[in-house]
Amino acid sequence: MISWPTPFIPRIGEGAYSSGINMWSSEFERLIPTGSMERADLYVCGITPYDATHMGHAATYVAFDLLQRVWLDAGYPVRYVQNVTDIDDPLLVRAAERGVSWEFIAESETQLFREDMTALRVIPPMAYIGAVESIPLVVEAVVKLLASGAAYWVDQDVYFNVASDPEFGGRSHLAESAQLKIFGERGGDPERVGKRAPLDCLLWRGKREGEPFWESSLGAGRPGWHIECSAIALHYLGQSIDVQGGGSDLLFPHHDMGASEAFALTGKRYAQNFMHAGMIGLDGEKMSKSKGNLVFVSTLRQSGVDPNAIRLALIESHYRSNRDWSADLLARADHRLQEWKSSLAHSRGTSAHETIAAIRSALSDDLDTPRALDAVDQWARKQHGEGDVGGPGLMSRALDTLLGIAI
Ligand code: 5CA
Ligand code: ZN
């Protein structure tokens, strides 16, 4: 499906990342020095379009946008793929509630997401792939898993045998009791009779009365969730990628299941690194459709909030931290934006180089945005004081290129 327009990204000269880009200190103790990758491949789990785009979604996609900007700035060609889970149970539930078709919900919410991403200056993926359009890829993958014995039938459904990957669960490191609990909460069916193991996950759901279905060599039905991302990523990016990303709620079961499915399909470890963004909450609760405590990007935009302020608010704290959205956070970000604007207008010096080096250094250290914003604040304060500092043109371009803040 189509994605959204690429924002203009000014050139500020290629970034010098002499100490390497360390993006994965938290999860995979890897430090990849500049020059060790010919290109950077990224797969980020996309939305399930039934209630988009809330601040949690926005924070996650802005975090991966920063990663892409750092890679591009360091000179890596980036290949970025994202999916849209445009058929899944929540869409059917929402469609029934609203008395409209699930296709209408999927299309309209995906369109809103595109508009929000455009407003937030998020660089689009090179391939934006829907679950529905990838059904042939999923069927091909499931057929292969059945043939190798990594999948099996339960009535008209097909399940993945998680034991076929000896490293299953190796990303989340959860005890089995925790795995079972979370699996049950996040779309899994540990109690299903006929499975070989409670954690085995659905690959293909045979046709049910009243539910949408597609004809295939597996019979009529629709895809399971985890295999959607594995099949899309393997097809569009090949057998190994640098980073798979998403919010931390996807670590288990989604990313563990997907990694094991990819391993069963290729015999190789698929994502070399996983990056997970923290959860955005409201008043101490995770922001989610089921809790009904959502703040939407589109609502804020309609009320006249500058998308730059939304973006600044989302990156005030580190992407990995669980944090709350609040009116105060937005007010602080808006204030900061006004300060930066005023400093750019009043600037009278020449050099922004030190500040740009500080921004690059902070971002290359696991996207340390608090430190990057602090460097800009320091630069901004100096513009109003005495002394020969500044460089507003270059500074303004750097804010856009590196932080996606266009002023
Ligand atoms: N379609 C699947 C992924 S294949 C899905 O999880 N969709 S979603 O709409 O529920 O979430 C889209 C992305 O936003 C995921 O990466 C998810 O981890 C992230 N996300 C969802 N809620 C939050 C939140 N409250 N805070 C931060 N990120 C969130
Ligand atoms: Zn996914």
Residue 1 inside a domain? The answer is: no
Residue 37 inside a domain? The answer is: yes
Q: How far apart are CA 208 and CA 81, in angstroms?
A: 31
Residue 74, ligand 1, Cβ within 6 A: no
pLDDT for the residue 348: 64
53: CB partners within 8 A, 6+ apart: 47, 112, 113, 116, 117, 296, 297, 298
pLDDT for the residue 382: 85
Residue 33 inside a domain? The answer is: yes
Q: How far apart are CA 38 and CA 3, in angstroms?
A: 25
Residue 13 inside a domain? The answer is: no
Whether 173 and 261 share a structural domain: yes
Final residue before a domain boundary, out of 302, 335, 360 = 302
Q: Pairing state of beta strands 201-206 and 157-160?
A: antiparallel
Q: How far apart are CA 352 and CA 340, in angstroms?
A: 13
Whether 283 and 392 share a structural domain: no
Candidate of 43, 45, 89, 285 to mutate for ligand 1, largest count of ligand atoms within 8 Å of Cβ: 45
Neighbouring C-beta atoms of residue 354, cutoff 10 Å? 13
Structural domain containing residue 379: 312-318+327-403
pLDDT for the residue 315: 98
Whether 212 and 290 share a structural domain: yes
Amino acid, res. 378? Q
Closest CA to 321 of 376, 369, 273, 288: 369
Q: pLDDT tens-digit profile of 30-41?
A: 434 344 567 889
**Atom from ligand 1 closest to the CA of residue 278:** 27
What's the CATH code of the domain at 396?
1.20.120.640
Whether 40 and 182 share a structural domain: yes
What's the CATH code of the domain at 69?
3.40.50.620
Which residue ranges of the chain lie beneath pLDDT 50?
25-35, 388
Whether 288 and 386 share a structural domain: no
Whether 196 and 253 share a structural domain: yes
Overall domain count for the chain: 2
Residue 70 inside a domain? The answer is: yes
pTM: 0.93
Whether 268 and 357 share a structural domain: no
Residue 9 inside a domain? The answer is: no
Whether 345 and 234 share a structural domain: no
How far is ligand 2, taken at its centre, from the CA of residue 237, in Å? 14
pLDDT for the residue 30: 42
Whether 278 and 339 share a structural domain: no
